[in-house]
Amino acid sequence: MEGPLQTSVHVCNENGQWMSQLPEKLWDIPLYNLALPGSHDTMTYCLDKNSAVSGNNSKLVKFLNKCMPCIVHPIIMKWSTTQVLTVTEQLEAGVRYLDFRIAHKANDPSMNLFFVHMVYTTVTVQDILWEVLRWLEAHPQEVVVLACRNFDGLTKKLHCHLIAYIKEIFQCKLCPRNVVPTLRTMWQCGHQVIVSYEEDVEVEQHCELWPAIPYWWGNKTATRALIQYLERMKQMGRPEKFFVAGINLTENLRYILVHPFGSLKKMTLQSLPCLKIWIKQQYPGRKKDCINIIAGDFIGNNDFVKDVIELNTKINSPLHCQSKGAGTNSVSFSA
């Protein structure tokens, strides 16, 4: 395991400390007004090929997988895997938003929690939280947003269990939600982790938890349709604080049937050239049409992370984003 990990990290570690290298003029801007690279369905690089399908899948998927596992299960794996880099490699590559879909396996008497996307992961949530902590300790000026979502099969008791682990592992590195999270403030206070928790009742009870971060999910199979969706969302106006523009395409049954030899990776790689153009046109900041987090699949491809980080060079002052010309560039898409 050590060999492949080191080789892959060596390839993409140029962005491992990009936050600490930002110019001082950006240190007092809230993180929700900067451009942050994110990974969609962060943990799918370690899906368990022997796993049962998760509890929140449709009855049809469960039935087909039970009747024809040799056919259906490989298809599920091809269209569920959205990342190939490990969580440490993603952080080294510059990703600062991690999309954690958390689940408890049906009929599992233990308190173990896993990540999920159609099927469960081979690693537990607890193990990955410790892995993130180790990385943060080696990068004391980097800040990570952890979006805890989905919560398939979690009871009140399991929520309490998970939150207790989050507090135990990150301790004072957790940034309370009443703090305006600028880099300068985070560094001065020793905060490195913002935990977004998609369960309002729990958020109200714990000041260390932030509300669910809105995710602009286009649910599109075509690149052009996805970009049109994102532009419509921008016209409606960005949320006040953190939000995610998801550049991830989404398959449906018709698309899978038309592309029997396809996969989510092939689908994604074909879309990246057009999405790269769209990303480069964006501006971070607090104005209506500015962006914040941009999350994608297979984040190690096509300079995605680098392109998002470089958007921060467009910010000219701590008070506003320079949006002159934003949204006026015309791009021709054939996808």
Q: Is 117 noted as a catalytic residue in this protein?
A: yes
Catalytic residue, from 73, 104, 117, 191: name it: 117
Rounded to whole angstroms, how far apart are CA atoms 278 and 304?
Answer: 11
Catalytic residue, from 40, 73, 104, 206: name it: 40
324 φ, ψ (degrees, to nearest 5): -60, 125
What lies within 8 Å, CB to CB, of 93 at 6+ separation is 12, 13, 15, 16, 85, 299, 300, 305
44 φ, ψ (degrees, to nearest 5): -75, 0
**Torsion, CA 301, CA 305, CA 308, CA 310, rounded to 10:** -110
CA proximity to 292, closest of 248, 224, 246, 232: 246
Exposure string of 217-229, with b = 16+ CB inside 10 Å and e = fewer, is bbebbbbeebbeb
CA proximity to 291, closest of 273, 315, 270: 315
Q: Is 40 noted as a catalytic residue in this protein?
A: yes
CA proximity to 8, closest of 310, 276, 301: 301
Q: Which residues are catalytic?
A: 40, 117
